[in-house]
Amino acid sequence: MARPPSSDDDAALRWDDLDDPSYSDPSLAALAPEPSDDDADDAAPGGSDGGAEGVDAAADLERASDARSPLVTLLTALAAAVYLAYTVGWIIGIGLVPLSGPTLVIEIMYQFSEFLAIIASPLWFAAVVSLTRDGRAAHRFGWLALGTLVLLPWPFVLGLLR
């Protein structure tokens, strides 16, 4: 097949024409829903479906701007501070509960479980933030709220109550 003549062969190598209708933002491409066969049947014969694309694009922009919202960033930073406080609470709380096991194996297992208790809060926070990066803010804060209940440093809390 012969190649059609082009007036400017280097046009494909330039990135300066953002007004070109073929330009698309790759960060929004991941948010766009995949078209189904039903959508293709509902489209108007002229190739335009009367504004449904505008609604989808607005929803995509809303989701993309929601992830970068200053309020979401502030609340995530607040949750990070809470999880950091939980880590410090576990370190202090573990010092309040001494254990001397009858065997070396029990002592090693207990120290390993102390280590896991200390790193559980930062691991939970990192996992939630990384897994909900492209999701809704409500999902992120729901999982962070669940972690604040599950990872409460009980030795520290009970040590304060005595």
Residue 126: pLDDT band by 50, 70, 90 thresholds? Answer: very high
Number of Cβ within 10 Å of residue 9's Cβ equals: 9
Is 135 contained in some domain? Answer: yes
Q: For 14, which DSSP code?
A: -
Q: What is the percent of the chain where pLDDT is above 70?
A: 57
Residue 67: pLDDT band by 50, 70, 90 thresholds? Answer: very low
Is 132 contained in some domain? Answer: yes
Q: Which residues contact 63 (CB under 8 A, 6 or more apart)?
A: 31, 136
What is the model's pLDDT at position 82?
A: 95
User: What b-and-e string marks burial along 116-146, b requiring 16 or more CB atoms within 10 Å of the CB?
Assistant: ebbebbeebbeebeeebeeeebeebbebbee
What separation in angstroms does the CA of 97 have from each of 10, 19, 45, 52, 83? 71, 65, 74, 62, 21
What is the model's pLDDT at position 136?
A: 86
Is 60 contained in some domain? Answer: no
Is 41 contained in some domain? Answer: no
Is 35 contained in some domain? Answer: no
What is the model's pLDDT at position 150?
A: 92
Is 63 contained in some domain? Answer: no
Amino acid present at 96 = L
Is 140 contained in some domain? Answer: yes
What is the model's pLDDT at position 7?
A: 65
Contact between 80 and 125 (Cβ < 8 Å): yes
- The yes-or-no verdict on residue 87 having pLDDT over 80 is yes
Report the domain count for the chain: 1
The parent domain of residue 128 ranges over: 69-161
Is 126 contained in some domain? Answer: yes
Whole-number Å distance between alpha carbons of 117 and 127: 16
